[in-house]
Chain A
Amino acid sequence: MSAAPKHDRYDVVVIGAGPAGLAATTMTADAGLSTLLLDENAGPGGQVWRAISSTPVKSEVLLGADYWSGAEIAKAARDSGAEIIHRATVWSLDRNLEIGVSVGGGSAFIKAKRVIIATGAQERPFPIPGWTLPGVMTAGAAQTMLKSSGLVPDCPTVLAGQGPLLWLLAAQILRLGGRIDRVLDTTPRANYIAALPHALAFLTSPYFGKGLAMMREVRAKVRVISGVTELAAAGDGKLESVTYVAGGKRETLPAELLLLHQGVVPNVNLAMAAGVEHRWNELQLCWTPVLDAFGNSSIPGIAIAGDGAGIGGAQAAVVRGRRAAGDAIKELRPQAEIIDLSAEMARAERGRAFLDVLFQPAKQFRMPQGDTIVCRCEEITAKDVLDSVAIGATGPNQLKAYRRTGMGPCQGRLCGLTVTELMAEARGKSPQEIGYYRLRAPVKPIMLSELASLPKDDEATKAVVRG
């Protein structure tokens, strides 16, 4: 069981031990700042380098060089002298830079001079008919099981969606001897043309060669259907079949496992609950925080690095982590010299615009209709949402009064984007105008007994915290 934080205040608290968080932690700790890294998982790596220090899949080839590049960065963080706590759930952060964190069944409050949020991304919701059936999972879920437990599908399995991760996952499953019956590519055909202006930057980026090789590897072993325009999962109490339409032709496949992926979006809950200003990103179709070049947010002392700052991938996350760390060092150690990382940043972000445009998910896969579930927690359908709009719900927060959307344990993580876009369209407004749920701590549920056993009010701490 992990130990609680050793101190109640730190120069820098980094939240999330993925690429951005590990890189930031190493840098601030190396600069002599007292640094605490809090991470919810059992080991470092975040999603992209998940289980980097514990994976049972030891072969270099199977998980690929990009995965193993994380080992060195994780080791550097471990050696940096920073205090690193895994299985630590940060459930509260406020504008006073006070952090509520749960470790091993007990909670503590700590205070930071600077906070770097590096909570990364999550899978974009993929609300198709039947997506709540047992056996429908995200591609990220399958990849997590593959990396941390060496588990691969061995039942009739369909992969559906679009984007680099889908192909990477397919390649990894096949390399480990797993089963894939079909890949359904939902990339809208029009996107290929829209992405052309960005193609040159992409062709000269590292993504290009790797992506192409992976697609070839998968196509050699599995039937791939392109141009899928409709997708539905069906079954009684569990997934039994997947139906799709491609080129006007409808087909139904028996399946026990459907792995969905249409890109990732920033994990905004902690930052939003802290009050960080976000805006709708028209290209990535999600909320991204308003940040300066160093990742500083609208709240003094809170910076955001990594995919939580807008999807940029692992390499960009590392650079963003270092930039945020550099700014924290400059603030707390004014005499320290900080190297300029803007050239590295530009290199890491090269090709991103092409991916953003090419893999922008189609409307029918973001904005479901009829009795397709939108809010998994409260089991609210698209029709429910639109009916509420018809009788006066004007935005996601008002909708809660009608339908409880976003009020379940996931706090809107899997319905928020859908609700915003559905309501925006129904009301003829932009997502920015419609807005998002007001998010509230605890951003992860906390047991009442754990809250009850928080250390009692300490007047001295309070004066500082509230001052």
Chain B
Amino acid sequence: MAEKTAKKNELGLTKKDYKGQKSTLCLGCGHNAIVGQVISACFELNIPPERVIKVSGIGCSSKAPTYFMKRSFGFNGLHGRMPSLVTGALFADTSLIGIGVSGDGDTASIGMGQFKHVTRRNLPFLYIVANNGVYGLTKGQFSATAEKGLALKKQGQNRYVPVDIVWEAIAGRASFVARTFSGDPQQLKALIKAGLHHRGIAVIDVISPCVTFNNQDDSYHSYAWGKSHEVALHELSFVPPVKAIKVKYEKGETLEVPLFDGTHIILKKLAHNYEPTDRARALQMLEDANRKNELVTGLIYINPKQKSLFDLYDLPDMPLNRLPIEKLRPSPESLEEINQQMF
């Protein structure tokens, strides 16, 4: 039987254990690549599926969690309001790993407020934006990330300048911000892995083409445009703690970013001699790339030391949702005291 011969990870699980329902997205949809790489990354990182909660808002993007990790708890919430949902949920057990999938409409339009606030709070979870510049489920309207001048079948030309999700995340003080491309699965997977090990919010803006409504060669969110305009900032690899760094890179070529749990991100510089540790430089780089019409991809900004939301709370080691009820109700004497203290 195929299952017996399938490759197992350290937990004895096969990739199948990380899969979800069969995708009902369009054939060739960029979001399917995201789904595939989330599955691979979690499988390869030996993450128990039960330790993951997957959440989303509304839209094609937000269907994605159904298609990966059926053994994880999931919640398909409201349009633009996945960030609040996952904030409340993770307080129940802060050791859980949150994976949120949103879209450009979900994040950059209706959900802009919650997006900015969840970055500002640095909630530790992976926030993937499947960004295709178009509303898919409602059949082809401009999204807030659509470039000015984009022409769509029923909509005519887009009048407005786009929202840059990476820019907004950095301005919102997210502690891990990346941009990648569905057509670059290796980089996508490496970033997902790094994001899952980052203690803080990890925003990954994935340019993820919509083959049905916005894949014209000259559209900024198409495969063709992405392939011909992608400029990878670095070759990025994620190194788990058990594997000591054996490969010696030449000085000046690589940057090692240690994460809180002993893992590392290794960045082999390719373009722009770029180091993603300075917020102002990151914004400048984005501005330059924008002017040069480049789709820069890679880790744009990281601060592994920024306090996460849960560092600001004094929560017990035992998850709040497992506290025995005796610990939840103060004593009768304490109420007696309050009654006495009232006027």
- A and B are interacting partners: no
Binding site for A on B (CB under 8 A): none
Binding site for B on A (CB under 8 A): none
